[in-house]
């Protein structure tokens, strides 16, 4: 029974969590590290995840086509007044990045805004509604007249314009700006009739018969590292979908810029109205990545449920309160640490401290590495079972004609003493080359499979057992032993028997060294990862060799464990075991790579 298996797995997962935390991904559940390794679909937001979330006012459009400076200034001033940003004591603006960009853009167009003055003239504020996709305010002018300012998605605002407004031209202009990857907002106003009471009208009464001031285009540049991260996703067999509340053309332009949608990108412009049957059909298309534009939190939940029903392992990003159900439903809910709400972080499995898509890919790679390392130390631990069991089989099958080559205390010294530290060190092994070039493992795949058992028990274990029994019989035959000769206390061969069992014990330990080196890679050659790249493993090997030397040569431990000092020729013999064990497995992996390559 491999006693060290449970603590080794737990510590390997804990180390994976700590490493990910240093890289910007805080994992809230140990088992999620293993789940990350099998993730095959990422559903990501756009703003702040694929992009920098650093909005800048780049373009404006007014109904007159060639706007004058006064028209542009009126447009950006109205957009800036329809915000809720505040100015902190040190002078910095605080609030939504989109609204900060509007206020800064107004200052750049000679229309600076003081948030305190804005609030002093405000009579009502209808905050942004994600379903209506707009917000509005009621301001008091210099002469006491009230004016409604509405800001929001073009399709949401244009539907509220008065008759005769240039709706068609505005839609074409909005599409052109969105195709350039800009977030487009429409700004419209309405003068309330004189004599309107101090009480603000209802929202539906205020937001009607509007006059269009124009459109503003905000640019949020993609994060420079995202394109490489998306490319790594594709190489690893992962599918990346974008689920965003933005316009479809804007989201598609950003997606194409970072490489999402290779070879085919499909854009669902009104994803909140998609039915289940159509969604299932879309998600079954191989090689297609989808932009779900103008999505709602319910859309995220629907997408997560559909992907789970198809047997996919889903990582879903979100930052709002309403994203919590989708984050909880996905296998890996990813909340934003900077822009996310407390509710989203509480419902998630992983929190990104930098809100960066590339960190998700790094976490998936780390999950694959941790999973591989768990398999590596399982191979290492299981490989010792064969050379521990074979001596007892030889003793039993010979009906005692061959004395017991290994004692119970010596087995415990191996399982609890020499084995643990190298196994823990294998949990810190670096990733093999090509770890992100193979497809995600199926969710139904067991950690222990037939190939692992064949490698550990049938290859490394048998090679080790043959070497260990060779050392045992070498010592006995050199002393003149023949099958059936007595080796008990007081017999002439008793000391030779103690030396032989010690050779068996030392042989298993040295075979452990060879197995630990071999287990560092499952596919690649050792030269590809470097012999000295895991100093913890080298320290663990040094410890087990010193521990073995103490049991072999220290008189108090000799009496306790039934060992005897090994002569030089036996030491040289067991010293040859590590390269023989590792070398045989290196040949096996070379033949396997050559076969798969052909």
- Give the whole-angstrom CA distance, residue 402 versus residue 404: 7
pLDDT value at residue 598: 45
pLDDT value at residue 526: 86
CA proximity to 228, closest of 356, 39, 46, 55: 356
CA distances (Å), 161 to each of 66, 145, 207, 489, in order? 21, 20, 9, 105
pLDDT value at residue 95: 87
pLDDT value at residue 40: 93
pLDDT value at residue 273: 81
Mean pLDDT by 10 residues, the chain (598 residues): 71 85 90 88 91 90 77 92 89 89 90 88 90 91 83 94 92 93 94 73 90 94 93 93 91 93 87 87 88 89 93 91 90 89 92 91 90 88 91 92 92 86 87 86 81 90 96 94 90 94 96 94 85 92 95 93 94 96 92 75
Give the torsion through C-alpha atoms of 469, 473, 474, 475, to 10 deg: 110
What kind and span of H or E run contains 519?
Answer: helix 494-519
Number of neighbouring beta carbons within 10 Å of residue 219: 18
Residue-wise over 308-318: b if at least 16 C-beta within 10 A, else e? Answer: eeeebbbbbbb
Q: Which of 45, 246, 319, 415 is catalytic?
A: 45
Residue 45 annotated as catalytic: yes
Rg, Å, the chain Cα set: 35
Give the torsion through C-alpha atoms of 474, 479, 485, 486, to 10 deg: -110
CA proximity to 147, closest of 124, 170, 120, 113: 124
pLDDT value at residue 35: 87
pLDDT value at residue 42: 95
What does pTM read for this prediction? 0.82
Contact at 8 Å (CB) between 341 and 319?
Answer: yes
CA distances (Å), 51 to each of 54, 169, 224, in order? 8, 29, 9
Query: Quick check: bond before 484 cis, omega within 30?
Result: no
Task: Give residues with Cβ within 8 angstroms of 162, minimum separation 6.
Answer: 209, 210, 211
Contact at 8 Å (CB) between 39 and 232?
Answer: no
Report the SS3 class of residue 151: strand
Question: Tokens representing 276?
Answer: 């289940």
pLDDT value at residue 142: 66
């Amino acid at each position: 029974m491999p006693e060290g298996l449970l603590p080794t797995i737990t510590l390997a997962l804990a180390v994976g969590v700590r490493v990910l935390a240093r890289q910007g991904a805080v994992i809230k559940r140990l088992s999620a590290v293993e789940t990350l390794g099998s993730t095959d679909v990422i559903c990501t937001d756009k703003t702040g995840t694929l992009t920098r979330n650093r909005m800048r006012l780049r373009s404006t459009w007014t109904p007159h086509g060639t706007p004058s400076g006064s028209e542009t200034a009126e447009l950006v001033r109205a957009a800036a007044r329809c915000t809720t940003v505040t100015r902190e004591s040190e002078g910095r603006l605080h609030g939504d990045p989109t609204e900060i960009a509007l206020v800064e853009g107004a200052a750049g167009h000679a229309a600076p805004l003081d948030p305190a003055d804005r609030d002093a003239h405000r009579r009502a504020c209808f905050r942004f509604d994600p379903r209506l996709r707009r917000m509005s305010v009621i301001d008091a002018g210099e002469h006491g007249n009230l004016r409604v300012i509405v800001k929001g998605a073009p399709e949401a605002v244009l539907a509220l314009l008065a008759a005769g407004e240039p709706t068609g031209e505005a839609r074409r202009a909005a599409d052109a700006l969105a195709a350039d990857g800009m977030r487009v907002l429409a700004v419209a106003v309405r003068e309330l009739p004189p004599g309107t009471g101090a009480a603000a009208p209802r929202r539906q009464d205020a937001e009607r018969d509007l006059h269009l001031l124009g459109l503003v285009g905000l640019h949020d540049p993609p994060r420079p590292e995202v394109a490489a991260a998306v490319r790594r996703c594709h190489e690893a067999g992962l599918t990346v979908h974008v689920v965003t509340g933005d316009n479809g053309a804007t989201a598609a332009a950003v997606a194409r810029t970072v490489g999402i949608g290779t070879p085919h990108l499909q854009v669902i412009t009104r994803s909140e109205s998609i039915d289940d049957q159509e969604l299932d059909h879309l998600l079954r298309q191989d090689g297609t990545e989808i932009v779900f534009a103008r999505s709602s939190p319910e859309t995220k939940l629907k997408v997560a449920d559909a992907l789970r029903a198809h047997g996919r392992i889903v990582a879903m990003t979100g930052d709002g309160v309403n994203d919590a159900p989708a984050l909880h439903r996905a296998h890996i809910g990813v909340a934003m640490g900077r822009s996310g709400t407390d509710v989203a972080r509480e419902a998630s499995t992983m929190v990104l401290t930098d809100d960066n898509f590339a960190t998700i890919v790094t976490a998936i790679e780390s999950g694959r590495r941790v999973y591989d390392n768990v398999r590596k130390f399982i191979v290492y631990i299981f490989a010792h079972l064969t050379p521990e069991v074979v001596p007892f089989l030889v003793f039993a099958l010979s009906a005692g004609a061959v004395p017991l080559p290994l004692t119970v205390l010596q087995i415990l010294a191996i399982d609890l003493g020499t084995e643990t530290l190298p196994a823990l060190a294998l949990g810190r092994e670096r990733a093999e080359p090509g770890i992100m070039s193979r497809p995600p493992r199926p969710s139904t795949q067991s950690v222990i499979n037939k190939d692992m058992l064949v490698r550990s028990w049938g290859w490394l274990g048998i090679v080790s057992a043959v070497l260990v029994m060779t050392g045992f019989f070498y010592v006995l035959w050199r002393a003149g032993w023949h099958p059936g000769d007595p080796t008990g206390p007081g017999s002439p061969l008793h000391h030779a028997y103690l030396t032989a069992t010690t050779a068996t014990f030392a042989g298993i330990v040295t075979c452990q060294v060879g197995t630990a080196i071999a287990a560092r890679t499952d596919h690649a050659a050792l030269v590809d990862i470097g012999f000295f790249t895991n100093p913890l493993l080298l320290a663990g090997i040094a410890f087990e060799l010193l521990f073995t030397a103490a049991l072999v040569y220290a008189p108090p431990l000799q009496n306790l464990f039934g060992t005897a000092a090994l002569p030089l020729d036996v030491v040289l013999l067991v010293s040859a075991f590590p390269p023989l064990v590792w070398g045989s497995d290196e040949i096996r992996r070379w033949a396997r790579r050559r076969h798969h390559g052909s």
